[in-house]
Structure formats: C-alpha cells, structure tokens
Chains A and B, each alone.
Chain A
C-alpha cells in the first residue's frame, strides 16, 4: 500500500500541473486582443488557482479527492478540433483550447492510474482524473452555449 509520502508526491505533481496551467492561461490572456477572450482566459487561470487550493487541502486530507462527484461526460472535447492559439482567436476557440487541455490532463491521470501498481495510488490518480473531467465538463457546457453561432 502506498505511503503518505507517495500520495504527497502525487498531489505535488498535480499542484505543479495546476500552477503550470495557471501560467499558461495568464500568458495567453496577456496576448489576445478580444476582451471577451481575455476574460475567459483570466477566469480559466483563476479556476486553476482554485484547483490548486483544493489539491493543497487534499494534502492534509487525501480523502477529499475521493468525494468529488462523477461528472457528466458529453465527450465534446473529444469531438472538437483543437484550434491554434492566436491573438485574434474567438471566445469559443479559447474554450476549445481549455477543454482540450482538461481532457489531456484527465487522460494523463488515467494513464498513471492504469500503470500504478498500488491500489491506493490507482485510486488517487482516478480521483484526479475525475477532477479534471469535472473541469472539462464545466468548460464544455460553456462551449456549447457559444460555440455554434447562427450567423449569416
């Protein structure tokens, strides 16, 4: 069974990834022109800080991660092409980038869960994957609201 040290390492890894995502969204926010897109990236960066706070709480109480709800997965990120980053990207493109990143994060933890030899570690990776899928689901909802404009 994995010890506290190993669980801590996993959570530290996850915290590091959230910090990295925060830096990514903040940096992109500084480059885009559309104020609406900038606002979306700022919010996404803020969200990543919230995720970091949650993971820090998990360091004290790892059980918290197991209490995350199972998100609805409409698999929209999977069905959407990833747009390239550009200064004139549209709000929907910003959300598409974000949901793809969350999908990538979920897959990262799912892979680790599959390769972990210890049940406790597997459970922790699965919990983290579920957390990322929850983030993906939230962004997918926002994407559906604005991603299919009826413009002609």
Chain B
C-alpha cells in the first residue's frame, strides 16, 4: 500500500475495485465504513454485489475482466472535462501527452460497450473521481488474478497519476495483500528473482553485497522460476524437487488435475504444514511445523507494518518451527545457517537490509513499525511517494489495452465462473476446516448462481448441481441469489471436496504468472433436488 490503513478513514472518496473487502479484509473494511460515516463517498466496482455495497454510494457492476476498458474510459472522461490534475501531471509524470492521446482511444461509449456500465453512469463516476479532493484506490485479487493483471494495476496507477492522488495522506494506490504475511514473505525475498529488501539476484552489486554480508561465495546469478513455470517444468524434468512451505499447492493452483500430474512427476516432494491436506497426500516427506499461534517472530502486513508474533500455545510434540526445519535440512546438506531463534534471524535481516534496519523486536514490542525504517532513530513511514516523488524519477504512464479473458463463454460452456474467498474460511482451509466452530458456520461450498441462470435449468437453492469446465467437474449445492450479475457464477476454493480450482483455467499473466482465477467458462447441470442449505445464508455471508 502507498498509504496506511488508518488513512482510509480520511479519504474524500474511496474507489474499491476487485476487492470483496468485508469478507477477505474485514478489519480494513471497518476503516472504509468509518470513512463513509464521516462523509466519504464510496464507490464499489465489482461484478458481484458484495456486502460492502451496502455502504457504497455507487455499486458499479462491471463485467468480469473489463477493468482496463472501464478505467481507461473514466480517464478519457476526466481529461475531456478538465478534471485531471495538470500541475501534478506536469511536475511529476513522464509522457503525459502520450497518455492523453491513448485515453482518446477509449471514449466512454466504447468503454461502456466492453464493461457493461451505462454511459451516464460512467460519466457520473468520472465526475466524482475528478472532483474529489483525495481519492484512495483499494484493489485486491479481482484486479491481479487475470491474464492482464499487470496491465490492470498499471491502469489504476495511470488513473491516480492523472488525478494527482499519490503521495498524499489518504490518497494513493492500495493493493490489499491476500494473506496476513504475504508482504513479509516478499520483503524477506521469498520470491524467485530478489533477495530480501528487493535486491535483484541478477544484479552484480547486490550479489557482491550479499556474498559479503553472508560470508559466502558462488551465489546464483540466475533468477528462479515463478510458480507455474516451476510446476510445468516438473513434467519435462526441469524441476525435480519441490519444497512447499505451508502451501497447499494442489488446492490453490488452477486446473487441479494438471497440478496433480505435475506434482506426481517430481522426484521428491517435501511439504511442511500443520494438518494433512491434498498436497501432503502427494508428498514423499512431510514435516510438521508450528501454527501461527505457536510461532515466534514477525508478520508484515499490507501497510508495510512489521508486527511481533508471540507464542500463545505450546506446540504439539514433534513439531518444529519452519526456520528450524530449513536450518536442519541445510546442516544435512552441508551448510549450517547457525541461527538460534527467530529473533536472531530478524537481527540478521536487519543487518543486511536497510529498509528495516531500524526495526528491532524491542521497538515493536507494543506497536509495529512501517518500513522504510532505516535507522533506530527513524519513526517508520506512513505513506510513500510524498510530494509526487517516485523511485524511478517521474511517474511513467503506461498505455494499456483491454484484452478479453483467456476463456470466454460459448454454447457448450455458457456461464462465467469467478472465484474468491469467504469470510469464514482461509485459503485452502488447512487451518479453518479443522476448526469445528468455523465448520459449523459455513460447512460446505456452494455454487452461487443468479435466478435468471438457475431458473431455466430448474435449479433452486439447495439443489445438488454439477459445475463443469473444460478441465474438470465439481458437484455441490446451489445457492441461487442476486449477488452476481446474470451469466456469472461464483464459488470459493476453501473446500477440497468442492474446490473451484478443479474448474479454473491455467492461463497466466505473462509478467507475474498469476493465474486467471477470476474468469473461466462453465456449464451447470442439475443433479437432483435438495434442501436449502441454510435458512440464513444471507446472514452468513454478511459479516
């Protein structure tokens, strides 16, 4: 996030796109609701009527995968009406004339045809954005989980630069990270192409520095594979060993049947996790590790805040923390990292990475600190790009063009399936499916369908249905409601017995290799009549 979470409550307008915030980021949604109560305008842009829409002045029901056309159309309208922040553009951006010309190729009428939002509605949204004092854009996986995810993000950056809404309190571009510590994992270099502190593994200076800091030689000069490539190469021997750290790959990657083939082709699959799941079932070796309540260390959240994690429970007999398991493995392979605790590892990170050099366990005993925090004297950084300053110099406008999803509907597969998360369960359910309380609250996955699509098939809520894509089929009960637009079905990936990723397509963004989890084509068949799954499903989905 370029802003802090708390700043959201001071924004004049909050533009949420591709984010089911109340279910996936409920704490952050409180700040958005607080902002609305203080008078902020909330615009929720989503193909589904998510719960946050109840607080929104506008719910813009864009078609799945049409974000670039929609945003470009808004940018066009903002330029046309003189609402662009010309001072910011002149002082802080590169190639604005190219951007202006590019936006002209997306007149609002054309954009409307692609995204399905009426022209008058688009004009009103553009006016609200163009005349607001400060706009905070929040987005999540509804933006990134597309084959054009990178361009989706660039388009939102273009919008905020056109409006001059960067580097200000309460105004910025705010991706809400998908998990509690995904920010921390990236910061620590759990990526194929950077060391911790985002130092490129292909940069000679960075390698020289890390070899000196760690007292080693011969660090690889080559970036590793991203996840899909890593798995794909298992089929031709390019990947022989896979070590999964608390990642239920089978259930979380798209096209499950193909993922299983890839994992089965490995010579060695090692998995660490806290409970058995579909991936541990395929593993040659399983290491039992600690859960979050048994760990010591830090998590870094989406606003770059490093927070202490402390042990609350005694771990079960035989389990070990992940760092210990990795270190023991290293010893047996001939290299001892020599750490004695999570704190010692953090101190090593601090020593070798300037952006969190000032964050000690002592300093975050009560409240976490936000990086950059380069020295012990520094108080941490609430928001980035102050006064429109960017790491590359000036902000670069990127021309982004809408492309259709990898798979579109046809006669055989006439419905779109989009996927996401539910409030009551987390990720692949390895943790939450083992909680009796949460299982009672939401015990099974349901296929959400619009009445317009369900009725001709004779499907009512509770009926057993089969959702079929080109990659597989899932049998589960239907939940007929009007949350999604006609033509759009929705389900989550938390339940291994009815997992959306049996159906999802293994098509990827070319830059990030993130899969297009948000769009694939399916057909739905009725299996038999059933009983409505719960009387109060609506309440269950509404935190």
Question: Residues of B contacting A58 with CB < 8 Å?
Answer: none
Instruction: Check A104 for interface membership: any CB of B closer than 8 A.
Output: no
Residues of A within 8 A of B197 (CB): 148
Q: Is B372 an interface residue (CB 8 A)?
A: yes
Let me know if A151 is at the binding interface, CB within 8 A.
yes
Interface residues of A in 100-152 (CB under 8 A from B): 141-142, 144-152
Residues of A within 8 A of B167 (CB): 145
Q: Could you tell me if B384 and A74 are in contact, using CB atoms closer than 8 angstroms?
A: no
State whether the Cβ of B327 lies closer than 8 Å to any Cβ in chain A. no
- Give the contacting residue for A79; candidates B198, B354, B391; CB below 8 A: B354
Whether B394 lies near A35 (C-beta < 8 A) is yes
Q: Which of chain A's residues have a CB closer than 8 A to the CB of B191?
A: 152
Q: A146-B385, A152-B191 are in contact. Are A80 and B393 (CB under 8 A)?
A: no
Residues of B within 8 A of A76 (CB): 374-375, 378
Q: Which one of A34, A80, A92, A144 lies within 8 Å of B381 (CB-CB)?
A: A144
Q: How far is the CB of A88 from chain B (nearest CB, A)?
A: 12
With contacts defined as CB atoms under 8 Å apart, how many contacts are there between chain A and chain B in the complex? 80
Q: Which residues of A contact B371 (CB under 8 A)?
A: 148
Taking a contact as CB atoms under 8 Å apart, the answer to whether A79 and B392 are in contact is no
Contact yes or no, B372 A147, CB < 8 A: yes
Q: In the complex, what's the smallest C-beta–C-beta distance from B218 to chain A, in angstroms?
A: 23
Bound CA span A14–B386, Å: 31
Alpha-carbon distance A36/B167, docked complex (angstroms): 16
| Cα(A80)–Cα(B354), bound, Å | 8
> A98 at interface (Cβ–Cβ under 8 A)?
no
Check if A145 sits within 8 Å of B374, measured CB to CB: no
Is A37 at the interface (CB under 8 A from chain B)?
A: yes
Min C-beta distance of B208 to chain A, whole Å: 12
Cβ of A150 and Cβ of B186 under 8 Å apart? yes
The total of chain A residues at the interface (CB under 8 A) is 27
Q: How far is the CB of B241 from chain A (nearest CB, A)?
A: 23
A79 CA to B377 CA, complexed, in Å: 11
Does any Cβ of A come within 8 Å of B159's Cβ? no
The answer to whether B391 and A74 touch across the interface, beta carbons within 8 angstroms, is no
Q: Is the CB of B375 within 8 A of A148?
A: no
Q: How far is the CA of A80 from the CA of B389 in the complex (A)?
A: 20
A37 to B194, CA, bound (A): 25
For B355, the closest partner residue in chain A by CB is A148
Look across to chain A and name the residue whose beta carbon is closest to the beta carbon of B167: A145
Residues of A within 8 A of B384 (CB): 145
Task: Give the distance to chain A from B456, nearest Cβ to Cβ, in Å.
Answer: 47
CA of A144 to CA of B378, assembled, Å: 10
Contacts of A144 in B (CB 8 A): 372, 374, 378, 381
Q: Evaluate contact between B390 and A146: CB separation under 8 angstroms.
A: yes
- Looking at the assembled complex, report how far the CB atom of B409 sits from the nearest CB atom of chain A, in whole angstroms: 34
A79 touches B389 (CB 8 A): no
Q: CA A64 – CA B94 in complex, angstroms? A: 41
Minimum distance in angstroms from A36 CB to a CB of chain B:
2
**CB-defined contacts of A37 to chain B, threshold 8 Å:** 393
Identify which of A34, A90, A148, A151 gathers the most chain B CB atoms within 10 Å of its CB: A148
Task: Answer whether residue B176 sits at the interface, using C-beta atoms and an 8 A cutoff.
Answer: no
Among A34, A79, A91, A142, contact of B374 (Cβ-Cβ < 8 Å): A79
Query: In this complex, what residue of A is CB-closest to B197?
Result: A148
- Are A152 and B194 within 8 A (Cβ)? yes
Q: How far is the CB of B161 from chain A (nearest CB, A)?
A: 14
**Which residues from 348 to 377 on chain B have a C-beta closer than 8 Å to any C-beta of chain A?**
354-355, 357, 371-372, 374-375, 377
With a CB–CB cut-off of 8 A, which chain B residues contact A27? none
Contact of A74 among B194, B355, B378, B386 (CB under 8 A): B378
CA distance A13 to B126 in the complex (A): 57
Residue contact A145 to B375, C-beta cutoff 8 Å: no
Q: Is B193 an interface residue (CB 8 A)?
A: yes
Residues from chain A with a CB closer than 8 A to the CB of B389 are 91, 142, 145-146
Mark B153-189 against chain A: 1 for CB-CB distance below 8 A, else 0: 0000000000000010000000000000000001100
Asked whether B186 lies within 8 Å of A79 as measured between CB atoms, the reply is: no
Given the known interface contacts A145-B384, A147-B372, the answer about A35 and B393 at a Cβ–Cβ threshold of 8 Å is yes
Cα separation A79 to B375 with both chains bound (whole Å): 7
A63 located at the interface, meaning its Cβ lies under 8 Å from any Cβ of chain B in the complex: no
Taking CB atoms, residues of chain A closer than 8 Å to B375 are 74-76, 78-79
Chain B residues near A141 (CB-CB < 8 A): 386
Complex CA gap A78/B378 in Å reads 13
CA of A109 to CA of B354, assembled, Å: 28
User: Chain A residues with Cβ under 8 A from B392's Cβ?
Assistant: 34, 36, 90-91
- Given known contacts A36-B390, A36-B392, A39-B393, is B198 in contact with A74 (CB within 8 Å)? no
**Quick one: closest A residue to B371, CB to CB?**
A148
* CB nearest to B385 among chain A residues: A145
Question: Can you list 7 A-B contacts (CB < 8 A)?
Answer: A34-B392, A36-B393, A76-B374, A150-B186, A151-B194, A151-B391, A152-B186
Apart from A39-B394, A79-B374, A147-B374, 8 more pairs, CB < 8 Å: A35-B94, A75-B375, A76-B375, A79-B375, A90-B391, A90-B393, A144-B378, A145-B167
Q: Which residues from chain A sit less than 8 Å from chain B, CB to CB?
A: 34-37, 39-40, 73-76, 78-80, 90-92, 141-142, 144-152
